[in-house]
Amino acid sequence: MNDYAGKTIWIIGASSGIGRALAVEMDRRGAMLILSARSEDKLTALNNSLGGRHRVCAIDVTQEKAVKDAASDVFKSKVDSVIFLAGIYQPAKLSALDLELCKDILATNLGGAFNVIAAILPYFPAQIALCASVVGYRGLPNAQPYGATKAGLINLAESLRAEMRGTGIDVRLINPGFVSTPMTAKNQFPMPMMIEPEAAAAAIADGLLNKSFEIHFPKRFTWLLKIARFIPDRLYFSLVP
């Protein structure tokens, strides 16, 4: 894709946070949108704020049949890009997990991505983008099970990219740093170099137009965490707070 004018973008996880901001950004750039999340009311309100010109398709990504049915309907027309941003976050110590919430996070963040990929691959979309996080680079305290799902999404995107080579499907990985959203508002620790959702949305929209596999931002923060992946284990664990 060279720009978004006349393109159709399916944003899954569009009701709040980065997904909502991306919908606003893509609308501004001329894209036609399919807006998905669990909350139909929030999606409808978003669509109304954008002039009502887009399509609302409420789905729960944990429900395999619902996702397949939605894909079957959505792909009756051409879809240029599918962006998976659905996610749940709750910071927790592994020694004090709420297992029911843990299962919901796993089913949404990682299981939901598998459901979406299985549903859309038969239609050969031009582009698939999965949103993980830099928290998936290395294990961090109080980050589970969210961090595990994001590490899984990074691996999933890499595997999908390798398997789709030569098919014409452009696979992308999105790894944000700290973005000011209802999710990060739950954190009780310093979040360096935090950016607003609008800045994140602009970075994603720009990144999907270039050729890089991974879209990560803000760069001055994410490059530090990339370097941390190569620090020897003994040193890394001595530095983790």
Residue 174 tokens, joined: 């999105």
Are 207 and 218 contacting, i.e. CB atoms less than 8 angstroms apart? Answer: no
Q: Is 137 a catalytic residue?
A: no
Half-sphere exposure of 97 (CA within 13 A, CB side): 15
Q: Which listed residue (4, 89, 146, 236) is catalytic?
A: 146
Closest CA to 128 of 161, 176, 163: 161
Tokens 């990560």 belong to residue = 216
Radius of gyration of the chain (CA): 17
Strand ordering across the sheet containing 214-217: 55-56, 32-36, 8-12, 81-84, 127-131, 170-176, 214-217
Q: Is 170 helix (H, G, I), strand (E, B) or coil?
A: strand
- Residues forming the active site: 146
